[in-house]
Structure 1
């Protein structure tokens, strides 16, 4: 359970299939998709039902309430979010935590699947339900009915939950929250939104009388503010019949309070605020121009949404081209049009400047915004983004039958909450195809003219505290804007790119042998240059191919002296384009194509990975060929990347999170040079020419490479393309082997405490680790142990102690380079609770070691494991990783093991044995992050 605050939700685009709207004009109302069944009961309760079999045997149930923190009275600050928690703590038909317990036994994971969120204007509960058992659909509706109006709100349960929510609030403490508290009053124009943050206040959360939350629940959890969305592999008629039966008796209050529609009123004024903090690591200037928003209802609205989307894409491309500037005075720049809270939309612009370069950074980047505002874009730019837009719609049409149910849920949610139209993909596709050609440069320029204005403008200057004396005031920055408004700015010069990726098509090679792995329906080809290709054809996606390769080698082959360059070779060379083409030119050449190929160099191997549409396979193979044979170095991009890295290093340890992360990494690696933090000296040692030489060295010989392709293709049909491009890769037959570097995790019991930062919070990480005898069976036992421990920690640390919000237990086991395991237990808490909570973890472990897992815990783990495996195996990504992983580990490719047979090995005693083996405490490292102590006066 969590709440969504303005930073997460308000700054996102107003989404309907990824498009944002502005300035409502006249137009025809968009129709409602005929595939969705909708209705409203006499009490005002609304429902939306749609059958969709992706994924199969699953349905998503969402209870959407037009109820959020904006509705809270002064004595209820935080209670909308508190109420969300309480719906999991007991309802009429699910006492206490029986609901979570029941669903976990059905394979629904708490947090990952079963969840909810609260924002300013809504509270939404989500529940995925397996539908292969018809009784579960009815049970899902029962749960939704209870959440709608059957919460018990027991006083003792309310008091217990106070600690949990206060700990959730504590997790937000830090520099980001301190900045947010200073920006929110400005952003929200001191409206009600500024004083109704969903998490609430400590005073109310600690002391509110139970009657206050009862009053909130009675006032606002009512059918005329609620909707139920059910999308999935269900019988629509049966579900509708059940909804009309179960939800008809929900009651609205006799004297119901009006549900106001709160807005953020625009003042016509500009606002400025400087914010400094000792934990900030860079200086950033951010501008937001706020405008009245609009709803996506009519065809004119949709056309405006398309214009805004095209505008944002072209602006993004222009900003991307700034990376070609040599030694820029900034570290980053962002700009675009998006949605905001309280019925508003916004244009945002931000730059992160190098030290002492703020004015120069502003001038260099704002002139791009002025250029767009004055001149708009070029026809070539518009043509490119139109092609990309049309291509994305075509791709979506190909995948229409594979659209996940969750996508439909979000669409109907916006329909209920905002009145945003949900016309369905077929209507949208036809409308885009008919409308896109008619959008002109004048239309796009209108977007910039509308949004990039000089009123209702908020400017924030956010910087490290030590820079406070060097920062400009509001008048100075206003002067920068005024100067740029009248400055002479050259028109944009659009560089063109050839449409030919490869000027010479290689002769290629031939398949010299082939075989099959019948158990997995895999075809294996061996090419004349030694490359092995593994092909698995699937129908998990209609128009998708994913691929990767690996070959022995890697960066472990290079000395410590060469390591800084070797470790950054992919970032340096892989990000510099290909052949004669810069990244910007390459992007233009690939416009309208759906093909991406990246290279990697790991510790003991190197290769490529990527994906494409079926029709773009040849383009993808050409990119693979170029990744091997045509690497490119770019001195400008290299020097800029090194400069950015140096700035990040200089102030890195002003951020306490970096101090803690680097401490953990250093200790767990035995203070290895290769995993220690980057320093200025290391950055100075990186050589562009050496990086290119290392890249060429790693990709000079493909003779030992294995390529794996998974997706919707015909293996016989694509063989000629594989022969032409993969068969042409260089083969030196060097018979390389990866170099194994053994880790040295400290043995015994260690405690490492980091005292850094101002927030009144602690972070605890317990790492139980050691050597093991790796096997798939043992790995499963470790997973079971970790999951059961997670159940225990949720009960002891969260539900009983009320001192933790989200305790986590994660386990892993690896076969190479050394057979080792690790179980990480982590949580955030109050600094004064650390020792107590570590003691509770020890008690839970001791209990597992003496008694093992209960039958209920085993049911939960096994149900969740079945569900995860069932969903995972129906994806191209799973099979790509499964095949490549077993090949690289030199394990036999065979059919997936029988899930039920494996789960029979998990028993109460096996978990007990695993706890004794893996949680014996012989090797455990306790990391604790604490706030720094106040200096004595």
Structure 2
């Protein structure tokens, strides 16, 4: 560690004009954000409080515990995670199951705003999006945090009920890769607790531990010196601080608290290779870990921390570009490779530069060798000045965007930065200080410093390689000795330095002939303006102050891929892969990534059956670049033959072994059961092989050929005169034919199949698990009130099913009903309840769900409806302050006009229980209830 610290200090001293002899202990501290108040009570509890106004009238509450599964003894494995669950099942001031209902009564939704997680070294709870207008609600949330800290009831009955829930969580969240990791962890973390402390624990412990064991664990580890409270939002900081002292100061620290040990992870003296196989693993995987030491606590608050993190970020970005460039070639040795620095998997006491690759086929050695060779190329030959300049430009551009939006920092992002400061001592300078400091540092640190650091940290001897493989006929587990010999052979190679090939020409070499705005009118219902361009393109602009440095756009047109027959299915299924990763003109996708470094502008294409969307966003300074990208996407979208083959290789590798994965088989069979059209099925390896590059480019170009069929909507902080000029240059010049009107061609089989039917299949599984899918569908008139009703019914069903199926029956870990009312679909309303479940509880779970849908059409309690209404009022108040919301509403209105109420709150609050029942009765009368189940053999 001393050697690493000494090197970084030398780099910082040389680059930032500090005295060359500066010792690590003398490194200047990182200033702390002046907007956050930090305090510590006599009992050791730390608190962070900040007033913040985004989102308006909301506040977030967190409590972080410096305790996780690493504290467990062998006979306690699973107690840390179990304890997290029990925080929602009975506390001093919220006994029984009253906590979640009370929070939902004030608009805090379980799973979305209210949640927690347990990791190996930490446990964090959050209550977010709390309406801040009522002081009593703020105080009650702090009371909940204090109960979590020191007031859990941990009653026998509640513990026993939760055992089944956690067992179902283990069953549903034990994918093949997790099983492989648990098998190989003892090799990657030899002689360390980190090799055997997965937070989910052992079901033998979860099912049978004595009640007192959990209570003892709680008393031992949930204590104020290991706890941090964070409150961020529209609050009076002085009042919150006084309330924290009132509630938390009386909590006593044990006279002899147990030592909180951060267990070390030893270095390797030679490379270690761990190989794991699983029958349900979908594809092969290779992962490298180059271990290095963490900064000591004494230095994490200093400039050394910021400097180190910046240089590591630069190395990450440059390596990502290099690895991706290789993958775009048809003869690439891997389908995908990427990597970054961070914690060594689950532990806090060791860091790692981690690189992961998806091989082509079952032979992992070519992919392993290729990634290792590129790592050594970077270590020995360094990164180039041009690579570094691009990545530094991108870093500073993102930093500038954050700084310009400094008055619109979200509560949650700020709160989580304070959580990390408490748990990890991560600096919290605040964006104002960070912007100044990092602009200075980034422009003073040369690429040579990054290269030296990268070479210093990448120790080939202190390396672990994890190889994950499917366990099936034809796949041979490689020999560890042979793999080590292959790595040693690469060590002995002379590896040529990297050559950075980059295009220097502009995106558009010759500007198209500009058009004009020929008419203009106000759209008072949206607070927007409409421009008609000379080529027939309609542009709607809404200037906002929601964020200082954001412009969002959406271009929408009726029509879509339904005009192509089923003979195009392979191309249509593969097409989204191309629209997500393609080139423009003479620029390949890799060229564009380099060209766009330092520019915050992005354009996305989504071509659906009946609707065409082109969307994106940019900062005001990059508005011109955004318009150039829009123009090129409409006129010069391209994917080279090599890029197309590389994309096929990537998808085929990901799909070729999926026939062994029960979750994916369930989704595939579910689609087949619910939809008749082949274009509604999941992409498989045969579809990838059958996709044709020329066909796909033809579809995309034809779909975007007539810009006059599109309405372009812009919302954000733009200069209107500049936007108008750019629209005339780049949108009014798009190819158009106003005489051709956009129309929707309806085809059969796109919507959910009508009628009532139940289907079931059985599969072999490593962990017996049932999966269920329930679809309730129908036709409902599209209007704003029905949109609200559709969403409310889904939320009511979700709450009921969570209570009845999860909590009371113990049949599942997670269950929810989703559904929205759509404008253009054949079947505009579809409720989906897709969930894993305990096989023995299948019939009972399905019975409950059927009954609850029927009950929703007969009876709704005003109290349960009030919780949903409270949440939706808050949700819409927040959404109406976003540019993406207005782009969606305005663009959607062009597809199917529907009046948007001036007061959404009034519409929501006027809905009563009878409205819900009537809405569901109308849907139920259409008798479209389909059930599909996968069961273990």
Decide: shared fold, TM above 0.5: yes
**1:727 corresponds to which residue?**
732
Residue 874, structure 1, aligned to residue 875, structure 2: no
Structure 1 residues 510 and 404: alpha-carbon distance in aligned structure 2, compared to 1, 3 A threshold = same
Instruction: Work out the CA distance in 1 between the residues paired with 2:572 and 2:100.
Output: 49
Contact 1:773 1:819 in 2 (8 A): no
When structure 1 is superposed on structure 2, of 302-311 and 70-79 the one drifting more is 70-79
1:684 Cα deviation after fit:
4.4
Structure 1 residues 872 and 289: alpha-carbon distance in aligned structure 2, compared to 1, 3 A threshold = same
Residue 854, structure 1, aligned to residue 861, structure 2: yes
1:309 Cα deviation after fit:
0.7
1:185 Cα deviation after fit:
1.7
**2:448 corresponds to which residue?**
442
**2:714 corresponds to which residue?**
709
Residue 835, structure 1, aligned to residue 850, structure 2: no
Contact 2:291 2:459 in 1 (8 A): no
Contact 1:174 1:759 in 2 (8 A): no
Structure 1 residues 90 and 706: alpha-carbon distance in aligned structure 2, compared to 1, 3 A threshold = same
Q: Can you give the 5+ residue segments of structure 1 that lack an aligned partner in the other structure? A: 1-22
Structure 1 residues 102 and 386: alpha-carbon distance in aligned structure 2, compared to 1, 3 A threshold = same
Instruction: Work out the CA distance in 2 between the residues paired with 1:286 and 1:25.
Output: 36
Structure 1 residues 126 and 458: alpha-carbon distance in aligned structure 2, compared to 1, 3 A threshold = same
Instruction: Work out the CA distance in 2 between the residues paired with 1:561 and 1:473.
Output: 46
Instruction: Work out the CA distance in 2 between the residues paired with 1:203 and 1:356.
Output: 35
When structure 1 is superposed on structure 2, of 155-164 and 530-539 the one drifting more is 155-164
Residue 418, structure 1, aligned to residue 424, structure 2: yes
What do the CA deviations read for 1:79-109 (whole angstroms, capped 9, x no partner)? 1222222222122211112221111111111
Instruction: Work out the CA distance in 1 between the residues paired with 2:887 and 2:772.
Output: 35
Contact 1:338 1:347 in 2 (8 A): yes
**2:94 corresponds to which residue?**
94
> Secondary structure at 1:389's aligned position in 2?
helix
Select 2:915's aligned residue among 906, 910, 924: 910
> Secondary structure at 1:600's aligned position in 2?
strand
Residue 81, structure 1, aligned to residue 91, structure 2: no
Instruction: Work out the CA distance in 1 between the residues paired with 2:442 and 2:253.
Output: 46
1:892 Cα deviation after fit:
4.5
**1:604 corresponds to which residue?**
610
1:573 Cα deviation after fit:
6.6
Contact 1:551 1:706 in 2 (8 A): yes
Contact 2:378 2:497 in 1 (8 A): no
Residue 370, structure 1, aligned to residue 371, structure 2: no
Residue 327, structure 1, aligned to residue 339, structure 2: no
**1:796 corresponds to which residue?**
804
Contact 2:286 2:367 in 1 (8 A): no
Structure 1 residues 310 and 152: alpha-carbon distance in aligned structure 2, compared to 1, 3 A threshold = same
When structure 1 is superposed on structure 2, of 415-424 and 244-253 the one drifting more is 415-424
**1:504 corresponds to which residue?**
510
> Secondary structure at 1:256's aligned position in 2?
coil
Instruction: Work out the CA distance in 2 between the residues paired with 1:47 and 1:648.
Output: 45
> Secondary structure at 1:796's aligned position in 2?
helix
1:395 Cα deviation after fit:
1.3
Select 2:816's aligned residue among 761, 784, 808: 808
Structure 1 residues 523 and 166: alpha-carbon distance in aligned structure 2, compared to 1, 3 A threshold = same
After TM superposition, list the pairs within 5 Å mapping 1:237-636 onto structure 2. Answer: 237-294=238-295, 295=297, 296-340=300-344, 341-355=347-361, 357-466=363-472, 470-569=476-575, 571-572=577-578, 575-636=581-642
Instruction: Work out the CA distance in 2 between the residues paired with 1:693 and 1:824.
Output: 34
**1:232 corresponds to which residue?**
233
**1:184 corresponds to which residue?**
185
Instruction: Work out the CA distance in 1 between the residues paired with 2:117 and 2:362.
Output: 42
1:292 Cα deviation after fit:
1.7
Contact 2:785 2:907 in 1 (8 A): no
Instruction: Work out the CA distance in 1 between the residues paired with 2:348 and 2:825.
Output: 54
Structure 1 residues 709 and 921: alpha-carbon distance in aligned structure 2, compared to 1, 3 A threshold = closer
Instruction: Work out the CA distance in 2 between the residues paired with 1:685 and 1:794.
Output: 43
1:673 Cα deviation after fit:
2.1
Instruction: Work out the CA distance in 2 between the residues paired with 1:600 and 1:914.
Output: 31
Structure 1 residues 484 and 742: alpha-carbon distance in aligned structure 2, compared to 1, 3 A threshold = same
What do the CA deviations read for 1:607-651 (whole angstroms, capped 9, x no partner)? 421111111111111111111222224111112223333444433
Instruction: Work out the CA distance in 1 between the residues paired with 2:461 and 2:230.
Output: 40
Instruction: Work out the CA distance in 2 between the residues paired with 1:570 and 1:824.
Output: 23
**2:703 corresponds to which residue?**
698
1:599 Cα deviation after fit:
2.8
Instruction: Work out the CA distance in 2 between the residues paired with 1:135 and 1:705.
Output: 50
**1:49 corresponds to which residue?**
49
**1:11 corresponds to which residue?**
none
**1:863 corresponds to which residue?**
870
Structure 1 residues 342 and 275: alpha-carbon distance in aligned structure 2, compared to 1, 3 A threshold = same
Instruction: Work out the CA distance in 2 between the residues paired with 1:220 and 1:680.
Output: 50
What do the CA deviations read for 1:352-401 (whole angstroms, capped 9, x no partner)? 22226533333444322221111001111111112112212211110111
1:315 Cα deviation after fit:
0.7
1:179 Cα deviation after fit:
0.9
Structure 1 residues 586 and 906: alpha-carbon distance in aligned structure 2, compared to 1, 3 A threshold = same
Instruction: Work out the CA distance in 2 between the residues paired with 1:518 and 1:469.
Output: 65
**2:681 corresponds to which residue?**
676
1:173 Cα deviation after fit:
2.8
Instruction: Work out the CA distance in 2 between the residues paired with 1:152 and 1:682.
Output: 55
Instruction: Work out the CA distance in 1 between the residues paired with 2:368 and 2:80.
Output: 41
> Secondary structure at 2:190's aligned position in 1?
coil
Contact 2:760 2:933 in 1 (8 A): yes
1:258 Cα deviation after fit:
2.4
> Secondary structure at 2:88's aligned position in 1?
coil
The count of aligned residue pairs is: 906
Instruction: Work out the CA distance in 2 between the residues paired with 1:573 and 1:255.
Output: 61
Contact 2:188 2:464 in 1 (8 A): yes
1:660 Cα deviation after fit:
1.0
1:331 Cα deviation after fit:
1.4
What do the CA deviations read for 1:223-257 (whole angstroms, capped 9, x no partner)? 22212111111111111122222221111223332
Q: Can you give the 5+ residue segments of structure 2 that lack an aligned partner in the other structure? A: 1-22
What do the CA deviations read for 1:760-805 (whole angstroms, capped 9, x no partner)? 2111222222344444333433332222222222222222222322
When structure 1 is superposed on structure 2, of 509-518 and 386-395 the one drifting more is 386-395
* TM-score where L is the length of structure 2: 0.93
Instruction: Work out the CA distance in 1 between the residues paired with 2:255 and 2:817.
Output: 48
> Secondary structure at 2:567's aligned position in 1?
coil
Contact 2:574 2:687 in 1 (8 A): no
**1:107 corresponds to which residue?**
107
Instruction: Work out the CA distance in 2 between the residues paired with 1:198 and 1:562.
Output: 47
Over the residues paired in the alignment, what is the CA RMSD in angstroms?
2.3
Contact 2:188 2:274 in 1 (8 A): no
Contact 1:108 1:864 in 2 (8 A): yes
Instruction: Work out the CA distance in 1 between the residues paired with 2:363 and 2:193.
Output: 37
Contact 1:757 1:930 in 2 (8 A): no
**1:218 corresponds to which residue?**
219
Structure 1 residues 279 and 805: alpha-carbon distance in aligned structure 2, compared to 1, 3 A threshold = closer
Instruction: Work out the CA distance in 1 between the residues paired with 2:579 and 2:108.
Output: 44
Residue 60, structure 1, aligned to residue 60, structure 2: yes
When structure 1 is superposed on structure 2, of 238-247 and 836-845 the one drifting more is 836-845
> Secondary structure at 2:637's aligned position in 1?
coil
1:497 Cα deviation after fit:
1.7
